[in-house]
Structure 1
């Protein structure tokens, strides 16, 4: 039995309007209200992305980033992305890019005839101990993570927006130094998550902000 269910994604932004336009175009979403562009809507409420106003610019490499499908990397550049590490140079199946505020993300070229309408297909999480963090989140979501047979990545499938989106936990050497500019929200009971090792950060009228065992912030909304 799961202790949490997925609710939505949140992206921090200095310029909410500009970031909403960028990520709606990249992700295959719609700005729900152009007069108040902080919510991007998709085919279901779980596909919602909130673009949250902050006064803190991107300063260090993000420990959470999005993986997106695209017809070509050139399409992402035309929308305002910057190429950081092309797949032709790294040999990986993806190109590392930055959005207009410097947030890293990975673009996977699928070809125009194979790009789905909703194009956010993964969240990658940098970890000191990817196995432990994947197991921790897997217990909350009620799913068992799987290990990449050729590396130290661990993946949760079927717990996020849809069955296609994955949560991918990978090892990095550098420590966490800044609040994340991307996080997910869940529905659950904060007290149960605290008992499982989450850390209380602060309270809001409608939700509680917690951190997972590696300090990644997430928001918990009580069941309705």
Structure 2
């Protein structure tokens, strides 16, 4: 139970546009890097890396964010669908996200939109939630259907991790993923880099594992 979330990553054809959108929406500080990638920081700490890729987005993202948004209105985003309690939007490159009514308040202080959930599509959400709970020490709680498929108190994440049941199969690499610190027992090794290792969980979700930083 030594695994903790380091940050999030998103693939993009034009990282600058994606970074500008998310920085403006969530009040983050964006920096365009010399290699064309971008990083968004919260309080000086990397929160989202936007990495340039050549392959286009062709299917619905299997990893997306839920946001608390006053009035559920997101200027600059494309509205995809409307439901009773949330609205589905897309960012400039079509990355889907859901806006729920909320003022983004934290510790009683009103803020703008904020991320409240990391959603991961799953063929077996209960099993996936249990796998990650065992490795992070997160607390398993019921989803809206009563199934134990939500994780709370995920180290380093700062939001609920929701495993969402879907019928459509996974066909391509996830365009959004999470990075972690620590060893991840049972994960499949996909690639080894000098500073990190690309792994996959039993559902095939790729993520990158980094060694714990020196104190």
TM-score bucket of the superposed structures, by smaller chain: 0.7 to 0.9
TM alignment of 1:6-85, pairs within 5 A: 6-32=5-31, 38-43=38-43, 45=45, 48-74=47-73, 76=74, 78-79=75-76, 81-85=77-81
Higher strand share: 2
Higher helix share: 1
2:139 is paired with a residue whose SS is coil
Moved over 4 A (4+): 33-37, 111-115, 160-163
Aligned to 1:197: 186
On the 8 A contact 2:37/2:51 being kept in 1, the answer is no
The CA deviation at 1:110 is: 1.8
Cα distance per residue 1:176-197 (max 9 Å; x no partner)? 00110111100112xxx2xx32
TM alignment of 1:135-146, pairs within 5 A: 135-146=130-141
Rounded Cα–Cα distance in structure 1 between residues aligned with 2:133 and 2:18: 30
Q: Any gaps of 5 or more consecutive residues in structure 2? A: none
The CA deviation at 1:161 is: 4.2
Aligned to 2:153: 158
Q: TM-score, normalised by structure 2?
A: 0.88
Q: Any gaps of 5 or more consecutive residues in structure 1? A: none
Rounded Cα–Cα distance in structure 2 between residues aligned with 1:167 and 1:101: 23
Q: TM-score, normalised by structure 1?
A: 0.85
Q: How many residues align?
A: 209
Q: Does 1:106 align with 2:98?
A: yes
Supply the RMSD in Å over aligned alpha carbons: 2.2
